[in-house]
Amino acid sequence: MTKRRCQTMVVFTTALLMAVGVACSTTTSPILDTFNPKTFTEMSYLLLNRKPELAVFADQGPFTFQAHKNLDIRISLKERINADLFLAEHAEKAPLVIFVHGNGSFKEAHSYQAMHVASWGMHSLVVQLPNYGRWMQNGKSLERLVSLIFRWPDLVGERIDTNRLLLVGHSFGGSAVCTAVAAGAPVRGVILLDPAVVNKEIARNLQQVNVPVMVLGADEKVFASRKRDLFFKNIRGQVAELSIKGATHEDAQYPSEFSLKFFGFDPFTSEDLQQQFVNAIALSAFSLSATGKLDYAWAAYEAEIKSCRLLKPRRK
């Protein structure tokens, strides 16, 4: 893995935002300044009626959000899941995007990503799962969580649109997400962040994934995630894959697992590349939420593909 310059102290800024736990103000995309959408539906109409652009999602969206940390969600008589919830503040039901960390990592590694998604009008939930050796069980726990929210959305918020639930998984969290979908988790789509195959059973589970899947990977010349190719190969439904030039596995987190453990210092990540993952997550989540397909996102990636900032594009 190649070393990079140390990332700035953005991690501490993120931690501060998390600690406040109140409505967070956002900067607004210039495109949205004039329109000032009041709901996710209004924003969707605006975006879907203009040329798709990844750059739009580089800025925070037009919505404030409420942060609720360390919720204790009971999913069975014996099992609870700890989670951080970010509720976009607008007066209608909206999608819920659920983030799952990878091996040895923590929910906080996806906090900034979740906040960015919430600023674009989609609620987000970042869960903490056992982070060593339980990834197949974690997939089953995720299925129980998603099914519970689908039946009783008030468990996390009265403005959850249960027909637009999404799962996002990093590394082995990607294996857990696909296991949950294969087990029947009622989601509209999946986003995989440099996913890794935890064991051979995953290959069989992938064949049962029947919702659109966006794979956002690291640069395989920098980091080759374990058997990542199986996700594209085995998923039978709509799937698209891109790699971010120069990115390593940890760039798919923000802040990274390493920086969380070592007080914000991580020589192996780049803030710019981490932000590229953030932008792509928000775009993909919007595309899946608003249309149920990947076409809008794929069209928005076109300029980045032509400029070679996004590598090895493929879809089926």
**What number of helices (H) and strands (E) belong to the chain?**
11, 9
* CATH number for 274: 3.40.50.1820
Residue 147 CA to residue 77 CA, distance in Å, equals 15
Nearest by Cα to 170 from 212, 209, 135, 120: 135
Number of domains in the chain: 1
The pTM for the full model equals 0.91
What pLDDT digit, counting tens, does each position of 109-159 carry? 999 999 999 999 999 999 999 998 899 999 999 999 999 999 999 999 889
Amino acid at 70: N
Is there a domain that residue 126 lies in?
yes
Residue 31's pLDDT is: 65
Q: Are strands 189-193 and 213-217 parallel, antiparallel or unpaired?
A: parallel
Range of the domain at 77: 10-315
Q: Is residue 3 part of a domain?
A: no
- On whether residue 143 sits in a domain, the answer given is yes
Q: What is the pLDDT along the chain (316 residues), one digit of tens a residue?
A: 333 333 333 333 344 333 333 334 334 455 666 778 999 999 999 999 999 999 999 999 999 999 999 999 999 888 999 999 999 999 899 999 999 999 999 999 999 999 999 999 999 999 999 998 899 999 999 999 999 999 999 999 889 999 999 999 999 999 999 999 999 999 999 999 999 999 999 999 999 999 999 999 999 999 999 999 999 999 988 999 999 999 999 999 999 999 998 878 888 899 999 999 999 999 999 999 999 999 999 999 999 999 999 999 999 9
Residue 98 — φ and ψ, nearest 5°? -105, 120
> Is 2 a member of any domain?
no
What is the spatial distance between Cα 208 and Cα 34, in angstroms, rounded to a whole number?
A: 44
Whether residue 246 is contained in a domain is answered as yes
- CA distances in angstroms from 83 to 76, 99, 160, 303, listed in the order given: 15, 10, 16, 36
Q: Is 66 helix (H, G, I), strand (E, B) or coil?
A: strand
Who's near 281: CB < 8 A, 6+ residues apart?
113, 116, 117, 168, 191, 193, 216
Q: Is residue 5 part of a domain?
A: no
Rounded-to-integer distance, Cα 143 and Cα 21, Å: 28
